[in-house]
Structure 1
Amino acid sequence: MNKAVSVYFISAFFISAPSLAGVPVDSATTSVELNATNIQNAYDVSADTVATATSVSENEVVSSSLRALLSDMKQFRAGFEQTVVDAQQNVVHEAQGTLTMTRPNKLRWETTFPDETLLVADGEAVWNVDTFVEQVTVLSQANAIKDNPIVLLTSTDDGTWSKFSISQMNSGISADNSTSVINNDTALQSYQITPKEEGGQIVTLTLTFNQDNELTSLNMLDAQQQISTLVFNNIETRFPVSADTFSVDIPDSFIVDDQR
């Protein structure tokens, strides 16, 4: 499997009051100063608590909005064009292919250019088929994408969603422009997903939907500051799913490396 697929789809997303200890305080003004300090501390804590509660509330609202969009996307199939650029904005990889997803937890990724590759997530395992070397690598799906925000595309699990922070962006462009999505349509909605636990391969995932609530692009910033952009075409959200869509037929000549 090419590097871009392995990197992006198998990611290997106190408040304290100042102390008065050791500070000389004049005995005549101690009571007044302590009372003033306590009042200010109480105000600061209250303000921070309100700000935190507001932030949590806003995150919950945005998260619910994104979940509603994805819950309507029980099926998704589209062609894609992928471009990967490095931190200096040099194009390091381009690909074309088809992405098929169904909820919950199933995904099929096929590339037709520049090479033919296949990755299938069947809900339990991820099957990576490398036809060039005639080898299939099998990974536990839960371990393969547990810290990757891409998991939210097909996950319906509350615990999984709680591991990520979600914000809604104007015009599909993040605040630092690190995950820019070209947007000439004011009806587009963009959501940026960030793992709450740091250290994962994917730093942010941005999903952009059109006026028909269809996923039109997907944008990932990784730990090496590479940006992968997938732009979708020929989008389908209602189609018959054949029995072999999320299964892999392994030729007898292929080597199977089962790492589950």
Structure 2
Amino acid sequence: MNKAVSVYFVSALATMSFAANATLELDSNLKEFGTYYDADTVGKELADDTNASMNNSQSPNVTTDTDDSSSSALQALLSEMKQFRASFAQTVVDGQQNVVHEAQGTLTMTRPNKLRWETTFPDETLLIADGEAVWNVDTFVEQVTILSQDNAIKDNPIVLLTSTDEATWSKFTIDQMSSVSAVNSDDNGSVLQSFQITPKEEGGQIVTLTLTFNEDNALASLNMLDAQQQISTLVFNNIETRFPVPADTFSVEIPDSFIIDDQR
């Protein structure tokens, strides 16, 4: 995981390092991910939606709802997501739309407040939020960085993915959108539910987070705009919401040879 990405994770709910948007270069090997999304189209439309919202404008096929019903609707969807496990393809682009990072891996979450982010490409990395601490394991340099989870998730909208705390939800403004954002091999597009989350307090690392749910009300993609104008997009596939959780899913075994940087 590149440095910026892991910092986001730690700055999210385990700083879910979702930096966010892009032109996912899904080659033929990624077509095995179930429903095939046209990566260039998904990335461009997510970026356009994000930029349009930042400029207080809307595209013709996007509607927004900014009252309390948006928060209630998102909470209802996430309440059904007590567990979530999926493979992901991630692309991070800078303000000039240059790709600065790509990754593939798996994400596992359980509510409340536990997360496991594991990459298999381009490097094998592991990040775990166990409810109290965030453990960032970098096998390449043989180092583990440990952060307080409470400090790591401050003002980061990703916390809402696993948080059930009303005080936490009250720190964010939520806008509900409906837009045609997915293209697959069978039709010209599907109307998805999207929610843009914005911290009420300015000055944080994350400017906006957009969650998009598919027609089965499953989290299909995540889009994040950061303070450096980098956009990161995660597209999820092989989604599971009911599965056994091994006891060691959110625990970390640290080899004796690893350096430990405990910042709690």
Same fold (TM over 0.5): yes
Q: Where does 1:164-243 land on structure 2 (aligned, <5 Å)?
A: 164-171=172-179, 182=182, 185-243=189-247
Quick check: 1:252 aligned with 2:260? Answer: no
Q: Could you tell me which residue of structure 2 aligns to residue 5 of structure 1?
A: 5
Q: Is the 8 A contact 2:129 2:250 kept in 1?
A: yes
CA contact (8 A) 1:188 1:208 kept: yes
Aligned to 1:67, which of 75, 78, 93? 75
Contiguous gaps of at least 5 residues in structure 1: 13-56, 173-180
1:48-78 alpha-carbon deviations (Å, 9 max, x no partner): xxxxxxxxx9521100000000000000000
Q: Name the TM-score, length of structure 2 as normaliser.
A: 0.76
What is the alpha-carbon distance in structure 1 between the residues aligned to residue 213 and residue 69 of structure 2?
17
Deviation at 1:221, TM superposition (A): 0.3
Query: Any stretches of 5+ residues in structure 2 without a counterpart?
Result: 13-64
| 2:30 alignment counterpart | none
Residues of 2 paired with 1:85 and 1:182: CA distance?
Answer: 20
1:148 aligns with 2:148: no
- Give the CA deviation at 1:182: 4.9
Q: Within 2, Cα distance between the matches of 1:59 and 1:186?
A: 25
Whether the 8 Å contact between 1:138 and 1:257 is mirrored in structure 2 is yes
Number of equivalent positions: 208
Question: Could you tell me how far 1:103 is from its partner in structure 2?
Answer: 0.2
Q: CA deviation at 1:2?
A: 1.7
Aligned partner of 1:85 in structure 2 is 93
Contact 1:2 1:117 in 2 (8 A): no
Contact kept in structure 2, 1:11 and 1:200, CA below 8 Å:
no
What SS is found at the alignment partner of 2:191?
Answer: coil
**TM-score normalised to structure 1 length:** 0.77
Q: Does residue 128 of structure 1 match 2:151? A: no
Contact preservation (8 Å) 1:94, 1:114: yes
Question: Which residues in structure 2 correspond to 1:91-106 (within 5 Å)?
Answer: 91-106=99-114
**1:114 paired residue number:** 122
Q: Distance in 1 between matches of 2:249 and 2:144?
A: 17
- 8 Å Cα contact 1:190/1:209 also seen in 2: yes
Q: Distance in 1 between matches of 2:7 and 2:226?
A: 8
Q: Deviations over 1:106-162 (max 9, x none)?
A: 000000000011000000000000111111110000100111100000000001000
Larger radius of gyration: 1
Percentage of identical aligned residues: 83
